[in-house]
Structure 1
């Protein structure tokens, strides 16, 4: 098994972080390009938005395919092939001329982009010692946030400078670089034990994970936290685009730089997990997220930005802890267990806006915070329940 601090640890962790960076940069690259795409293809803002949402939708659904496949057929080569396919699709996107072709390619890209997220943490669970995995998961999720930031910045700045098609060309070059380094650095699997590919067994594994309370609670915590966190960004743009702030779209896009605080939060979550029970780490992250949400109620712009920095730190701290908890507590079909976590995660991202909208209609931004705190109080309670279950299980083993 790979130990923390070893050369193999750093090679593998760097490879997976670069892979994560590449995946999420591609997911989010179209977000700042939406007005440009709406104009280029003569579609509405809602239709342009599908170039982003169709990718997250197919990505989330495809996690249930790649995870079980990797449990049966191996992990490393699936990650390499799906990353290569996603890079090719990014290149094709720079040449398309029709809106529907864009949607089809982005849907296909979502399927391919799901390969690494569905498998990476399971690969760590196979190959890393517990301490090494805690550290690696935090760094890996930091790569997620850096990729999301970079994709938005590349799309926005390159799109403004050279046009939307060249934004995809730049993303292709970046993706190719990440793919080559990933292939060179990631070691071959040494502790993977394949399971026969049996659809009935795959379904049974998924149902088994859902029936496992220590996994189901982590799924709900991760999903509902993201349900709130990512959709707060959508509503705050309406606040900041109006008086007295009146910020232009280019400046609003820079708000996602607050994700950098999340990169730090995820990176230190592994160290915290060595001294504090992981469910308590989740609870701590949620409390920080609640505190940041309250800070955004200020009328001062700098306080709002600070609140989102605190939010990002708390969210990714809890997310990293929940992700590694799932892989450690799934004693079989780890990739399937991790895939289910991410399915809850992306489902939360897709549906949270519908939940928060009535609160927005009621009290605008203060209403959004009220709705947010209600859900975060729920996930805080779930994390404490998870801690209690862990204590009961530990006491039972000791007896």
Structure 2
């Protein structure tokens, strides 16, 4: 049925309902995510695909992704043997990387008191409230929009001054630079207003952030055998199925062993895995796909809106009908997946199933015209991060934590992260000199 709405009748259902989040947070539907289907949305999509997230543009930002990843692993190495809330470090990695690509600088501090330098104008807890606090409360949305306005004004004022000073010598260095340059293009079909620029910038951050953090946390958060129990003398890897108390050892031991063997065989232990190595790591790719199947970035895709009356699979659909695609349900449908409650990456080996909107049994980013435009950036970041984390460390639970005590309960919201973040202990598995940033 998802194929009927997202491919066969894609154009009819290519618009969005006008929800409060698009009005109050996304600059009156000026972004690409919530914009109604029309000239502005088509132009925004073209900008994303041909400029902001093109292969050439993402390649130009590769050095940023590598630098931040090396610094991230180095920081974690300094905490070896100590209990660590991994989520906090992943948030810092994500925001640092995306901030540099979008704004050219790190504009976020770790906490209100611990600044990342003079460029930081918003604390990490404050930005997390913006990211995770949008649950339909209009009063809260209006308050958060004021914070976003202050943030955007600061960033765009800096970039405008730089553009003016350089004049004809101005060359875009980040996504905001590029948007400011495009705003001056007289040949654009739709003039880019300041609200458009802020909306496009906001979606660039949110899409990449949610994708990266969601996948990383579920891959590492102990649900699939990447974390050991407190008795690590034999490094027996225990995985926890989402059904409370359902412990599995055989499959998860195999999963971790195969991922280690693949990394050691293809990369070795004398250098770091790089983006160019990812196509040679099919088992890592299978782990990611299996994670997206069981725990999609969002349980429901962003709603679609019927722009005219139509008939779909024998049903009469009225104009204005909202369509919600349940990716969580599709990923656990026994008619599509054998033993869908089991975490088995092997199900993807040798099968032509991708995550780019062509395989409708796996739709983490949607499909068709309204597919997430930032999926390629998010995938690059997730693939590199997970590969480095698996290559760099063995993971276990703290000595005072039992496997059966872990809660796999999910929170509600835009995405469904774990309600109780995992605390883990890392042990280095590579030569010491590689961890020195």
TM-score, normalised on structure 1?
0.33
TM-score, normalised on structure 2?
0.31
Structure with greater strand percent: 2
